[in-house]
A = this chain, B = another copy of it.
Amino acid sequence: MQINKNIKILIVGLGLMGGSYAEALTDKGFEVGAICRRQETLDFALEKGFVKHGRCEVDPEYIGQFDLLIFALYPHTFIEWIRDNQQYIKPRALLTDVTGVKCSIVYTIQDMLRSDLEFIGAHPMAGRELSGIEYATKEIFSGANYIVTPTAKNTARAIEFCRQLGTEMGFKTVCELSPPEHDEMIGFLSQLAHCIAVSLMLCKDSRRLVDYTGDSFRDLTRIAKINDVMWSELFLLNKDQLLAQMDLFMEKFTQLRNGIADEDTESIRAMMRLSKQHREYFDIREDR
């Protein structure tokens, strides 16, 4: 299967991410259809020209037309959808997704999937602190990273196809990680960061802090405006990795705390210098 503009793409789920995919792919000249729950959402996507057609119910004949299916659902809904509806999918179609955790999804889907279908996991590292198709825009992909997470069950051509898809949609970089590597990385870089922001915002009623809040604190807590239903699900699906990352952070934080409590200036400064050095790797990349 080559990436060519004649393939028909079905997006399942038209939230922020599904809507943004739909816009990006329609823009690139693909024929894009969608399945979502609410007529209102579909109407919005049709009006905006994100999709050519769509359905608000499972229509076997409709589903059967598509060569590529992209699932932009909450994790458990994705698994249920495959269990209930995979019999309608066109033979030899390719499936991919946008789910933010991988081990608990990729292996499950691959194990339950019809043998003539192929599922390749992907994680677009893009988003907004807002949910719903009304905030969807392909702009969120520019500058962002698209991670393909193949397993031993994936074919080389599916991996290549999925990488091309990321490039087509306008992601800045496309890379590959195994599902366990992905989950460790995302547990640290994204989930732990969200846990920290949430915990910070739990500390105090912030009304009286607003007048004094500088940019650093705002930056640190922007991601605290979290979709609780989606993120609690993602956290629990990556529970072991996330707990490991939280414990690692707590160990370093406690080390710094004890340095301050003991007034051990030299050890505090050494930690700060190491931290600065680590952070500078990011700047080198930013400057490119």
Give me the interface of A with B, judged by CB distance under 8 Å. Answer: 125-126, 144-145, 147, 173, 175, 177, 185-186, 188-190, 192-207, 209-214, 216-226, 228-229, 231-232, 235-236, 239, 242-243, 245-250, 252-257, 260-261, 263, 265, 268-269, 271-276, 278-286
Contact = CB atoms under 8 A, between A and B. Distances in A.
> How many copies of this chain does one complex carry?
2
A256 B193 contact: no
A216 B193 contact: yes
B272 A226 contact: yes
A284 B275 CA distance: 33
Contacts of A229: 269
Nearest to A196: B196
A62 to B, nearest CB: 34
A243 B219 contact: no
A267 to B, nearest CB: 9
B193 A249 contact: no
Contact of A196 (B198, B247, B253): B253
A222 B255 CA distance: 20
A202 to B, nearest CB: 4
Contacts of A145: 211-212, 214
Contact of A268 (B225, B232, B260): B232
Given A273-B228, A275-B202, A250 B249 contact: no
A260 B279 contact: no
Nearest to A235: B260
Given A188-B209, A212-B125, A260-B236, A220 B203 contact: no
B209 A185 contact: yes
Contacts of A263: 236, 239
Nearest to A238: B260
A48 B202 CA distance: 46
A82 B188 CA distance: 47
A32 to B, nearest CB: 26
A201 B275 contact: yes
A198 to B, nearest CB: 4
A128 to B, nearest CB: 10
Contacts of A147: 212
Given A203-B245, A242-B260, 18 more contacts: A125-B212, A125-B214, A144-B214, A145-B211, A189-B214, A189-B217, A190-B214, A200-B252, A201-B275, A210-B281, A220-B220, A222-B279, A224-B276, A225-B279, A226-B275, A228-B273, A228-B276, A239-B261
Contacts of A268: 228, 232, 235-236
Contacts of A243: 257, 260-261
Contacts of A213: 189, 282, 285
B200 A272 contact: no
